[in-house]
Amino acid sequence: MITAIKKTFAEAKDFMPINGTDYVELYVSNSKQAAHYYKTAFGFQSIAYAGLETGVTDRESYVVGQDKIRLVLTSPLHSGSDIGKHIDDHGDGVKVVALWVDDATYAYDTAIARGAKSFMVPRVESDEFGHVVRSGIYTYGEVVHIFVERKEYRGSFLPGYQPWKTEYNPGSVGLKYVDHMVGNVALGDMDKFVKFYQDVMGFAQILSFDDKEISTEYTALMSKVMSNGDGKIKFPINEPAEGLKKSQVDEYLEFYEGAGVQHVAVATDNIIETVRQMRSRGVEFLHIPTNYYDELEDRVGKIDEDIDSLRELGILVDRDEEGYLLQIFTKTVNPRPTMFFEIIQRKGARSFGKGNFKALFEAIEREQELRGTL
Ligand code: FE2
């Protein structure tokens, strides 16, 4: 059972107020094509661009957005760069989870005083639209949190970027905001990063799952969910557990060559419509056997959605004390079997779909089997 379902948001210390996720930056081998993919398949809109044309000589970045979600897709322009090394080591993946704060200097000073490792000292960046202050600290693996203070800025994204004007503007699929982002860390490291989020950022642990709850016949993992005070920022942290075969977290760690972001969960108000759109635009989702739906309402009670549509699309449902949620997982989006996306619609539930873990992990195992990595 869930061992800490208690609503412990109140435990989060408010010494580091965070307004939300500011942006997620991925280092990718081809930013131009990645931007096209996220626009076409995921319904993101063109927002901003930085590169040779804007005076940036070492990298090219495309910023795409959908409602409150912003992705930055960055590639190096020359060999021998930190970005290129990151891509060589990890494949495409998340480098920055940026957090929107009122005071990026205070956030940095507080985090450093509480034991964080510095990535970027506070710096003011400005252009004709005003200025921002950014600072950064390391978290697990090579992932960093950048604090963004943008109350004095009116430009399209950040200084140095120009609005990205293009004639190719496919519509949104209804994605609204980042619900949570999950990190995979090495065996034995989960509690270290739980403590990091508690000590450095004042987060509270709101849930924990052990390997008896998150397991199938073959694979197991453990997870703890960290949250800031208002629940807007939620970072579950997974570590592998001993199983008969290799777990999905082990597979991730092996191919990512270290700890990193496993999935980004994005929220929608209409998961059936969103997933239908995404599938028609080429996004591939994990396959769920249709017998999952046979006794669905016996398990989760009455739901508003049409079960035939959920079955057709492979959308999962789970209920907790507060309501229910619908969720679905994409296949991994990179050549290496590492990162994927979750689409989630919450109808009262604040949990993470524990009732679906078995069906989900069996679906992942079928993919691992095909890759020969189970
Ligand atoms: Fe998730």
**CB of 295 closer than 8 Å to CB of 323:** no
CA of 122 relative to ligand 1 center, distance in Å: 31
The string of DSSP letters for 254-268 reads: HHHTS-EEEEEEEEE
**CB of 166 closer than 8 Å to CB of 46:** yes
Task: Flag the least confident range among 21-25, 56-60, 96-100, 318-322.
Answer: 318-322
CA of 331 relative to ligand 1 center, distance in Å: 13
159 with 192, same domain: the answer is no
CA of 165 relative to ligand 1 center, distance in Å: 33
The single residue listed with the structure tokens 């930085």 is: 50
149 with 204, same domain: the answer is no
**CB of 110 closer than 8 Å to CB of 65:** no
CA of 342 relative to ligand 1 center, distance in Å: 6
The pLDDT of residue 361 is 82
Residue 10 lies in a domain: no
133 with 187, same domain: the answer is no
**CB of 52 closer than 8 Å to CB of 60:** yes
261 has which bridge partners? 183
The pLDDT of residue 250 is 92
Q: Which residue has the higher pLDDT, 351 or 118?
A: 118
21 with 107, same domain: the answer is yes
Q: Is the pLDDT of residue 14 over 80?
A: no
362 closest CA partner among 208, 232, 237, 247: 247
CA of 103 relative to ligand 1 center, distance in Å: 29
Pick the last residue of a domain from 163, 196, 214: 163
CA of 101 relative to ligand 1 center, distance in Å: 24
147 with 211, same domain: the answer is no
197 with 294, same domain: the answer is yes
151 with 193, same domain: the answer is no
CA of 26 relative to ligand 1 center, distance in Å: 18
Q: Is the pLDDT of residue 219 over 80?
A: no
212 with 339, same domain: the answer is yes
CA of 278 relative to ligand 1 center, distance in Å: 18
Residue 338 lies in a domain: yes
Q: Which residue has the higher pLDDT, 12 or 204?
A: 204
For residue 28, what is the enclosing H or E element? none
CA of 104 relative to ligand 1 center, distance in Å: 28
Residue 197 lies in a domain: yes
109 with 211, same domain: the answer is no
CA of 343 relative to ligand 1 center, distance in Å: 8
**Interatomic CA distance for residues 9 and 149, integer angstroms:** 24
* pLDDT, tens digit (0-9, with 9 covering 90-100), for 46-99: 999 999 999 999 999 999 999 999 999 999 999 999 999 999 999 999 999 999
**CB of 240 closer than 8 Å to CB of 249:** yes
CA of 167 relative to ligand 1 center, distance in Å: 34
The pLDDT of residue 12 is 63
The pLDDT of residue 94 is 98
Buried b (16+ CB within 10 A) or exposed e, 9-18: eeebeeebeb
The string of DSSP letters for 204-255 reads: EEEEEE-TTTSB-SS-EEEEEEEE-TTSS-EEEEEEEE--SS--HHHHHHHH
CA of 51 relative to ligand 1 center, distance in Å: 33
In which band, very low, low, confident or very high, does the pLDDT at 5 lie, cut at 50, 70 and 90? very low
* pLDDT, tens digit (0-9, with 9 covering 90-100), for 173-192: 999 999 999 999 999 999 99
159 with 238, same domain: the answer is no
CA of 328 relative to ligand 1 center, distance in Å: 9
Q: Is the pLDDT of residue 2 over 50?
A: no
For residue 278, what is the enclosing H or E element? helix 271-280
* pLDDT, tens digit (0-9, with 9 covering 90-100), for 267-317: 999 999 999 999 999 999 998 888 889 889 988 999 999 999 999 999 999
Structure tokens at 217: 């016949």
Average pLDDT of every residue of the chain: 93
Please give the share of the chain, as a percent, with pLDDT higher than 90.
78
Pick the last residue of a domain from 116, 141, 163: 163
**Interatomic CA distance for residues 264 and 179, integer angstroms:** 8
Q: Is the pLDDT of residue 263 over 80?
A: yes
Please give the share of the chain, as a percent, with pLDDT higher than 70.
96
Residue 241 lies in a domain: yes
CA of 191 relative to ligand 1 center, distance in Å: 19
CA of 265 relative to ligand 1 center, distance in Å: 6
CA of 308 relative to ligand 1 center, distance in Å: 24
CA of 313 relative to ligand 1 center, distance in Å: 18
Domain count, the chain: 2
Residue 6 lies in a domain: no
CATH code of the domain covering residue 228: 3.10.180.10
The pLDDT of residue 364 is 86
Tally of CB atoms within 10 A around 321: 11
The pLDDT of residue 10 is 56
Residue 121 lies in a domain: yes
CA of 249 relative to ligand 1 center, distance in Å: 13
Residue 9 lies in a domain: no
**CB of 213 closer than 8 Å to CB of 357:** yes
Tally of CB atoms within 10 A around 310: 22
CA of 264 relative to ligand 1 center, distance in Å: 7
Q: Which long-range contacts (CB under 8 A, 24 or more apart) does 368-371 make?
A: 368/246, 368/248, 368/251, 368/337, 371/251, 371/337
Q: Is the pLDDT of residue 3 over 70?
A: no
109 with 191, same domain: the answer is no
CA of 224 relative to ligand 1 center, distance in Å: 12
The pLDDT of residue 11 is 63
Pick the last residue of a domain from 128, 163, 198: 163
CA of 106 relative to ligand 1 center, distance in Å: 30
CA of 353 relative to ligand 1 center, distance in Å: 8
155 with 187, same domain: the answer is no
Domain that holds residue 156: 15-163
Residue 328 lies in a domain: yes
Most confident stretch, 1-5, 16-20, 47-51, 215-219 = 47-51
Q: Is the pLDDT of residue 9 over 70?
A: no
CA of 48 relative to ligand 1 center, distance in Å: 28
What's the pTM value of the predicted model, to 2 decimals? 0.94
